Amino acid sequence: MAAILTPDVIALLDSAETIKILATVDANGAPDAVEKPSLHHGGDGTIHVLEFLETSAANRNLTHAIWFGGSVSIALHGADGHRVQIKGRPVKLHITGPLFQKHYVRARETLGDVDLAGVWVIEPDEVIDERFEKVRAREDAAHPDFIHLDRIAV
């Protein structure tokens, strides 16, 4: 069941100010994390990632994930400090057709003489609020014993 992207997460995905990291693993489990400014909301609850390099580690790892049911992680850090992690699965790669062409044209208009290898569609499975106060509140609630005693000393 795909996770729902709330309007604040969609805003984070679509903001040019947001730092966007895509983390994938290869066939041997080796991780790869790369900044992907091209990552954005697909408009239908999915996330789209423009891949400019056919043989990049991310592109190969996404292929491995779609072939073998693997997942990816996306970390977003907004200008206002809002931090979110999205776990999801690549479900489709567009290498031709109207969606691909739209991005190809736009990418070349905005970035100059670039090529586009494909547009990946990621379906989100889980959206985790990673703001520190939220993470800490979750940790405190789940593990109240994890605390240095000096913090509760009289």
Q: Which residues bind other proteins (CB under 8 A)?
A: 27, 54, 60, 63-64, 66-68, 91-98, 100-101, 104-105, 108, 116, 118
Between CA 24 and CA 47, with CA 11 as vertex, the angle to 5 degrees is 35
User: Would you say 15 or 56 has its CB closer to other proteins?
Assistant: 56
Reference 117, options 22, 49, 66; nearest CA is 49
User: Would you say 2 or 95 has its CB closer to other proteins?
Assistant: 95
54: left (phi over 0), alpha (psi -120 to 50) or beta: alpha
Nearest distance from C-beta of residue 43 to other proteins, angstroms: 17
- Integer-rounded Cα Rg, in Å, for the chain is 18
Please state, in angstroms and rounded to a whole number, the distance separating the CA atoms of residues 99 and 95: 9
Residues making up the chain, counted from first to last:
154
Query: Hey, is 44 helix, strand or coil?
Result: coil
Nearest distance from C-beta of residue 60 to other proteins, angstroms: 5
Nearest distance from C-beta of residue 144 to other proteins, angstroms: 43
Nearest distance from C-beta of residue 82 to other proteins, angstroms: 32
